[in-house]
Amino acid sequence: MAGASGSAFAHHDRALASLRGRHPGWQIWYVPHACDGSVTWCAQRRPVLNEPSPERLADAITEAERGHTRAGTGRPPSHRRD
């Protein structure tokens, strides 16, 4: 169901290209969810990061690059989910 702008994922593809340009040392991708149309944003370097938006993924990458992840979670302290 692409709109006038082309691909249904064009917005996500632009965000993906931007993230990859800002973080060349990372493998970055997103996973579309068929049920509700949302996506999960992912990055891999050590640790693997998964976030619900490109903005939160960028924040998590920045914090991980500074070495501020919590041991064993792959998540920066500001993104606690427990």
Of 81 and 24, more confident: 24
Six-digit token string for 35: 């049920």
Note the pLDDT tens digit of each residue in 16-47: 999 999 998 889 999 999 899 899 999 987 66
Paired residues of 43 in beta bridges: 28, 49
Of 6 and 64, more confident: 64
CB 22 within 8 A of CB 58: yes
- Which pLDDT does position 25 carry in this prediction? 82
- Which pLDDT does position 9 carry in this prediction? 87
SS (H, E, C) the chain: CCCCCCCCCHHHHHHHHHHHHHCCCCEEEEEECCCCCCEEEEEECCCEEEECCHHHHHHHHHHHHCCCCCCCCCCCHHHCCC
Q: For the chain, which residues make up each domain, given as ranges? A: 27-71
Note the pLDDT tens digit of each residue in 43-78: 987 668 899 999 999 999 898 888 765 444 455 444
